[in-house]
A and B are shown apart, each in its own frame.
Chain A
């Protein structure tokens, strides 16, 4: 049987995938014509093209995928004529192919309203990768931009403009609210406020009457006699089904566009089907990908002799618009006569939640979520499966108050097996649970065998919950073990190592693990040993269990040289010590740079020079700065009350005291701190793992802040502390973190995962709710008392010192592959790749 598919978009591709997955080889001959020059790509995530994804990243499947399945693919060659009598199609380039069945997946085009001036340069539509490329080129000279259309795609286009550097971007919507098809007025107001806070200007109830400018657009005229100067415009006012080919072939189309199809997706001609955005089913065009996929499934199944029907599709949707969650499910706009409505509106946090409930209060009919859509999957499933609501239905958006936090697992259990979890790929709860029982116990395995979560990805958190829940119900213990050699979490391992008083990696592996260890378990175990006993990390054969930087007590850099960072507590340094650093750098030809943590970094040291460099630094009174370790790095400070006219307390002295107390402390990840002398916060303490800010009455202590790739402000743990109490709380906080965090987890992530969050942490640290405060303080004091500078021990120990050479059989020779080139009167590692 020969099938011709017209259109190689997401739905056209999905049809090929479904058909070839079901068919035996040779059963079908498939020919595909695509108008665009590239194979089908992910149009849903088009805006990610601006966030750095390439056209290849967005591709659904490469050309070899089609070749492997014997699918003949013509790209850049649209069909211009269908001969229904002869059952043939002819392409623009003159290729003729016959068919037994024809599938129209021609999709849609952007709807461009007939506004005078739309033809001017600088006016774009937002539909294909080519459109994006044109926009990208034009945006370079644009400062002000506008988007016509405040719907889903329009807001995506506005985000794309911002990503392109058009910082002053306006959204023009004809209707009185944003996303009029998905959310109500109150939800739109919250969304509008959030988007405006992000820099977008939103105009609703605004009708564009003319696009101004000569050759190039320079402004927009509105029907209310106002105007706006803009350099570029994107029109995203809706879609128009591509039905021209069907019309030409004499197939019935709707008067507002769309190829009329029945429940089997057949057109008036029983040998021609239409699927996706070009199909008009029950008077409706479905502008989402999930119903398109369902249509592809129906046609593919029926061609295989099945009897499936398409009977409409739920238009529930959840998306992240410029970082703001928006979701709409079931019937979002139930009227008074059909049901009752519960609304939660928090204009402070920018959260709006609305649920519509049947008049008897038993069932959820639909709703709207803006600002926080975590509950979307649960609410959608509750709606679709007619799950009976709890006696206080408001709990489903407010969360059960006063009880324990996470009820996610319990929610899933109440769903029936046929509940659709992944609507893109039509995967039910039963399918996923069965796959887990069959041994597919990871998200990746589930994706592979069921395809759940491979579409929009919105169901992934729920699939993960289902995996864990199914494993638990099978009696399997779900936890994050370190690696194949240790069947324990880091916290369990920490306690076991302590109880058994194990001192070396080999002892830990022999007693608690199996096999030979690896790069995943060695560093955390070495870190646990250091956190527990604070012995020299290179002693007792533990050196080869340390990460490379710890093993050589320096940071390995490009080209294989190392950097050296002496500790400069609080950033305070004498002129004499500055001179020593300068002299050492000169003598060993090192590149010097001031770090972000108020220290000096010396780069480009050969491994064999490290002991000599450190001998000289130690002789001048320096110590290791532990810049190479998962350990306390620096405690930054501002100038403080000794010099600054605003300073309330002496922040420098306190920073030095703190840095000297916790220097060398090994932890699951690096630790940074800072002390500010007043609320002006010059030391940036609120971006640190623990930060201290002076108040009139003492110190405020902030914890779990982070800079880096996901910046997070530290949270206030306790206020107006005296220095002694402040240190006590830090002792408890740090020890609790060291004992309980997973490997390579910064304090911010640790807190984010902690049930009960900062309130729980405050209870443990300040109120001693677990009764372990004294123990934590004692454990910290032991570490403080055991501190020794490890570089001092290393240079004084000939056995350790011997390890610092590049060639074991030529210790005096340096690595000849290391080369430098000059840059601004210093040097840098030579680029060779």
Chain B
């Protein structure tokens, strides 16, 4: 029998609440999630808001971009960069990886998926 992880979708915000090519921080119970509207690519991403390098709640205020076409976010504190698809640290040092979350957009509303 194949066991599938059950994903619970919660409503984060409206699409217009997130700046184009930028991020916001979403509260889900006690979790802080960074949500990114990569409008240039027409994609949405979500990761943990805390940068694992110095444990700062800041990734949602980071700058997003791409490196060899891999979408990434740079922490505003020390410019550590992380892949938005895998959460892997791209800065070449092992400061740890990010947890990522699935995102879906329906009727201009943004939902983030939480694995229960």
* A803 to B37 Cα, complex, angstroms: 14
Chain B residues contacting A520 (CB-CB under 8 Å) are 65
| Contact of A808 with B63 at beta-carbon distance under 8 Å, contacts A556-B58, A833-B55 already known | no
Q: Is the CB of A556 within 8 A of B77?
A: yes
Q: Is the CB of B74 within 8 A of A518?
A: yes
B56 in complex: contacting residue of A484, A509, A515, A559, CB < 8 Å: A559
B61 in complex: contacting residue of A518, A522, A523, A552, CB < 8 Å: A552
Q: Is the CB of A544 within 8 A of B21?
A: yes
**Chain A minimum-CB-distance residue to B72:** A518
In the assembled complex, how far is the CB of residue A345 from the closest CB belonging to chain B, in whole angstroms? 48
Q: Is the CB of B41 within 8 A of A548?
A: no
| Contact of A544 with B22 at beta-carbon distance under 8 Å, contacts A484-B68, A515-B66, A519-B63 already known | yes
* A376 to B66 Cα, complex, angstroms: 43
Query: For chain B, which range describes its interface: under 10, 10 to 19, 20 to 34, or 35 or more residues?
Result: 35 or more
In the assembled complex, how far is the CB of residue B20 from the closest CB belonging to chain A, in whole angstroms? 6
Q: Is the CB of A516 within 8 A of B40?
A: yes
**Chain A minimum-CB-distance residue to B14:** A808
Q: Is the interface of B mostly helix, strand, loop or mixed?
A: strand
A806 in complex: contacting residue of B22, B25, B67, B77, CB < 8 Å: B25
In the assembled complex, how far is the CB of residue B13 from the closest CB belonging to chain A, in whole angstroms? 5
Q: Is the CB of B20 within 8 A of A541?
A: yes
A67 proximal to B (CB < 8 A): no
- List residues 16-35 of chain B with CB under 8 A from any CB of chain A: 17-22, 24-27, 32, 35
B69 proximal to A (CB < 8 A): yes
| Contact of A516 with B19 at beta-carbon distance under 8 Å, contacts A522-B63, A556-B76, A813-B27 already known | no
Chain B residues contacting A559 (CB-CB under 8 Å) are 56
Q: How many A-B residue pairs have CB under 8 A?
A: 100
- List residues 482-518 of chain A with CB under 8 A from any CB of chain B: 484-485, 506, 509, 515-518
* A548 to B19 Cα, complex, angstroms: 14
B38 proximal to A (CB < 8 A): yes
**Chain B minimum-CB-distance residue to A556:** B76
Q: Is the CB of A548 within 8 A of B67?
A: no
Q: Is the CB of B66 within 8 A of A518?
A: yes
B114 proximal to A (CB < 8 A): no
B54 in complex: contacting residue of A506, A813, A833, CB < 8 Å: A833
| Contact of A548 with B61 at beta-carbon distance under 8 Å, contacts A484-B67, A506-B40, A560-B56 already known | yes
**Chain A minimum-CB-distance residue to B79:** A519
* A558 to B20 Cα, complex, angstroms: 27
Chain B residues contacting A813 (CB-CB under 8 Å) are 27
Chain B residues contacting A808 (CB-CB under 8 Å) are 12-13, 17-18, 24-26, 35
A817 in complex: contacting residue of B12, B18, B32, B61, CB < 8 Å: B32
B62 proximal to A (CB < 8 A): yes
B71 proximal to A (CB < 8 A): yes
* A738 to B39 Cα, complex, angstroms: 31
In the assembled complex, how far is the CB of residue B17 from the closest CB belonging to chain A, in whole angstroms? 5
B81 proximal to A (CB < 8 A): yes
In the assembled complex, how far is the CB of residue B59 from the closest CB belonging to chain A, in whole angstroms? 10
Chain B residues contacting A516 (CB-CB under 8 Å) are 38, 40-41, 65-66, 69, 71
A809 in complex: contacting residue of B12, B22, B38, B74, CB < 8 Å: B12
Chain A residues contacting B50 (CB-CB under 8 Å) are 817
**Chain A minimum-CB-distance residue to B28:** A809
Q: Is the CB of A541 within 8 A of B57?
A: no
Chain A residues contacting B40 (CB-CB under 8 Å) are 506, 509, 516-517
Q: Is the CB of A544 within 8 A of B41?
A: no
Chain A residues contacting B71 (CB-CB under 8 Å) are 516
* A548 to B57 Cα, complex, angstroms: 13
**Chain B minimum-CB-distance residue to A832:** B55
What mask results when residues 615 to 658 of chain A are scored 1 for a CB within 8 Å of chain B, else 0?
A: 00000000000000000000000000000000000000000000
Chain B residues contacting A832 (CB-CB under 8 Å) are 55
Chain B residues contacting A594 (CB-CB under 8 Å) are none
Chain A residues contacting B65 (CB-CB under 8 Å) are 485, 516-522
A48 proximal to B (CB < 8 A): no
A807 proximal to B (CB < 8 A): yes
Q: Is the CB of A518 within 8 A of B27?
A: no
**Chain A minimum-CB-distance residue to B61:** A548
Chain A residues contacting B20 (CB-CB under 8 Å) are 541, 544
In the assembled complex, how far is the CB of residue A477 from the closest CB belonging to chain B, in whole angstroms? 22
Q: Is the CB of B19 within 8 A of A803?
A: yes
A interface residues (Cβ-Cβ under 8 A, vs B): 484-485, 506, 509, 515-523, 541, 543-545, 547-549, 551-552, 556, 558-560, 803, 806-810, 813, 815, 817-818, 832-833
Q: List 11 A-B contacts (CB under 8 A).
A: A485-B65, A509-B40, A544-B22, A547-B76, A549-B76, A552-B61, A556-B76, A808-B13, A809-B27, A817-B32, A817-B57
Contacts A516-B69, A551-B22, A817-B50 known; list 18 others, CB within 8 Å.
A484-B68, A485-B65, A506-B21, A506-B40, A515-B69, A518-B66, A519-B79, A522-B65, A541-B21, A543-B22, A544-B21, A544-B64, A560-B57, A560-B58, A807-B26, A808-B25, A809-B12, A813-B27
For the complex of A and B, 6 pairs with smallest distance between CB atoms: A518-B65, A548-B76, A544-B22, A519-B74, A808-B24, A516-B66
B interface residues (Cβ-Cβ under 8 A, vs A): 12-13, 17-22, 24-27, 32, 35, 38, 40-41, 50, 54-58, 61-69, 71-72, 74, 76-77, 79, 81
